[in-house]
Amino acid sequence: MSADPADADELVRFESAPVKLSAFRIRKAAEQGEILSQPRGTPLLGYLSRPPGDGPFPAVVLLHGCDHLRLSVKELWPKRLVRWGYVVLVVDSFTTRKLDDTCRSALPERVFDAYGALDFLSKSSFVDIRRVALMGFSAGGTATLDATKNDGNEQLMERKFRAAVAYYPACDADRGDPTIPILIMTGERDNWSRAERCQKRLARLSDNAPPVELNVYKGIYHNFDAPEFLVGRRVLGHIEKYDPDAAAKSMRSVYAFLRRYLAN
């Protein structure tokens, strides 16, 4: 690829990380004379952006929410992160699966999408694969927490993320320790991503857990960083509303967090 900066809408194709066969499954197949082939990942689309120059640069993988690729995720955040010096890969988890939204259900496969994106970036000479963060919004934030938890699918992956950022995820108090430093941000009035559930998870972390930073913005609702929701709206009983002050505070937190953990 050229050393010129990529546009935010540069389409790339890759696969989710495959769910590898267990040693037990392989052994049983051999005992029965069965020949197994390792499964392939799901074909995915992504949007790649990069700073000018040869790099290698740190990078950020972005996971969209259940409302798919809104403007702030597909364009605003990539442009912002590129200005800060990061390669950005926005993962489109829905198009190839022929999904419009998953706001009424979960899509656990997205953990494997994140690691497929990491594998894709590992093939790029302009990416420092040792310095890649995972960042998700809403359902993508929940997938970010699932992708970086102890005893989760992360342990099956050859390559690991360095840090993670989760905007208004659905925290689970029983998710356990993370494997890497995490920044979680949510609104006090967000009844989709309840702050108290995130607080409970933090309270249950072990003494050996990597750092987890939780920022709760007082009086703030879901999607507070997204200018598309300047006029608030109600979706499935949840209020989504942009707040410029909370958005600016969160961006400063993200900037500092990424600088801290992806600096070298």
pTM of the model: 0.88
Which pLDDT belongs to residue 262? 96
Which pLDDT belongs to residue 39? 67
Checking DSSP bridges between strand 43-49 and strand 10-15, what pairing results, if any? Answer: antiparallel
Superfamily classification of domain 10-216+251-262? Alpha/Beta hydrolase fold, catalytic domain (3.40.50.1820)
Which tens digit of pLDDT belongs to each residue from 201-211?
999 999 999 99
Q: CB–CB of 69/89 below 8 Å?
A: no
Q: Where do the structural domains in the chain lie, given as residue ranges? A: 10-216+251-262
Which tens digit of pLDDT belongs to each residue from 50-100?
999 988 999 999 999 988 888 899 999 999 999 999 999 999 999 898 887
Q: Where are the alpha helices (DSSP H) in 17-132?
A: 23-31, 71, 77-83, 110-122
pLDDT at 111 over 70: yes
Cα distance between residue 147 and residue 164, in whole Å: 9
CB atoms within 10 A of CB 234: 10
Q: Is 87 exposed, middle or buried (0-12, 13-18, 19+ CB in 10 A)?
A: buried
**Sign of torsion over alpha carbons 191, 241, 133, 90:** positive
- 1 pLDDT tier (thresholds 50, 70, 90): very low
- 234 pLDDT tier (thresholds 50, 70, 90): confident
Identify which has the larger pLDDT, 150 or 104.
150
Per the prediction, the chain carries an average pLDDT of 87
pLDDT at 37 over 50: yes
